[in-house]
Amino acid sequence: MTDKTAITLNVNGRDHAISVEPRRTLADAIRDNCGLTGTHIGCEHGICGACTVIVDGAPVRSCLMFAAQAAGKKIRTVEGLAKGDALHPMQQAFMDNHALQCGFCTPGFLMLAVGVLEREPDISDDDLIDVLSSNLCRCTGYQNIIKAVRAAAAEMRSK
């Protein structure tokens, strides 16, 4: 169980050559081996979605994927959303609409919403609520998250 394997994870466009146990989850590898602690772990059962990252264009629960499974794929985390000091429209919309309070679930929601809107920019309101119900937030009551994602969707479409 403790034998380690060398793998390379490409996170936010940068290669991380790391050595991990086969059982190590992608979430743990991103946080501990790559040092990117913006991805949070909320349940490790694939339910809360706090650990959501984008792998090859799709939002995934990084607690349900082994690090080794993500080798060779393009991984995006919350740290890769902004371009320098320019926030991603989703980040800006979360701030503008008070879509976060404690901020623990926020990276997961941002990556979920960005991942979905990049694939489905014209997603309907009902489908959007369906998608957002994949993740749990205990602070906001979701109304402002829905508002923020709709605002960002409009902004992303206009670009």
Partner 1 sequence: MSAPAHGRTTKGSGMNWVGRAIRRLEDPALVTGNGRFTADLKAEHYVRFLRSPVAAGRLGKITAPDGAWLVTAADLGTVKPIVPMLSKFNYRAVAQPILPADAVRFTGEVIAALIAPTAEQAEDLVEETQVEIEETAPLVDSRDAVAAGAGALHAVAPDNVVVEGIVKTPEFDAAWAGAAKHIKADIRSYRQNATPMEGRAGHAAYDAATGRVTFTCATQMPHLMRTAIADILDMPEADLRVIAPDVGGGFGQKMSLTPEYVILVWLARKHRSSFSWTEDRRENLIGGFHARDQYVTVEGAFDANAKLIALKADVLSNIGAYSCFPTTCGVEPLMAMAEMPGPYDVRHYACRARGVATNTCPMAPYRGVSRPIITFTLERLMDKAAAAFGLDPVEIRRRNLIDSFPYTSATGLVFDEGTYKKTMEMAVEAVDLPAFRVRQKQARERGRYLGIGFSTFSERTGYGSPAFAARGMAITPGWETVHLSVDPSGFVEARIGASPHGQGLRTTLAQIIADEIGIEPQRIKVVHGDTDRAPYGWGTFASRSLVICGGATLIAARKVRAKLIRLAGQMLEADAGDIVLEDGAARVAGTDRAITVAALARESYMQTHRFKGETEPGLNETGTYDPGGTFSNACHVAMVEVDVETGKVTMEKFVVAEDAGRIINPMIADGQVQGGIAQGIGNALLEEIVYDDTGNILSTTLADYLPPTAHEIPPIELHHIETHTDASITKAKGIGEGGTIGAPAAVVNAINDALTPFGVQIDEMPATPQRIRAALRNAGHAA
Q: What are the beta bridge partners of residue 76? A: 54
Q: How many CB atoms lie within 10 A of CB 155?
A: 15
| Of residues 56 and 130, the one with the C-beta less far from partner 1 | 130
| Of residues 44 and 118, the one with the C-beta less far from partner 1 | 44
Told to check if 133 binds partner 1 by CB under 8 A, we report yes
Closest by Cα among 46, 45, 14, 43 to 30:
14
The amino acid present at 34, given as its one-letter code, is: C
Told to check if 33 binds partner 1 by CB under 8 A, we report no
Give one DSSP letter per residue of 56-115, joined into a string. TTEEEETTSSBGGGGTTSEEE-GGGTSBTTB--HHHHHHHHTT--SS-SSHHHHHHHHHH
Told to check if 24 binds partner 1 by CB under 8 A, we report yes
Told to check if 14 binds partner 1 by CB under 8 A, we report no
| Of residues 1 and 17, the one with the C-beta less far from partner 1 | 1
Told to check if 87 binds partner 1 by CB under 8 A, we report yes
Binding site for partner 1 (CB under 8 A): 1-2, 21, 23-24, 31-32, 36-45, 47-48, 50, 77-79, 81-82, 87, 91, 94-96, 98, 100-107, 110, 129-130, 132-146
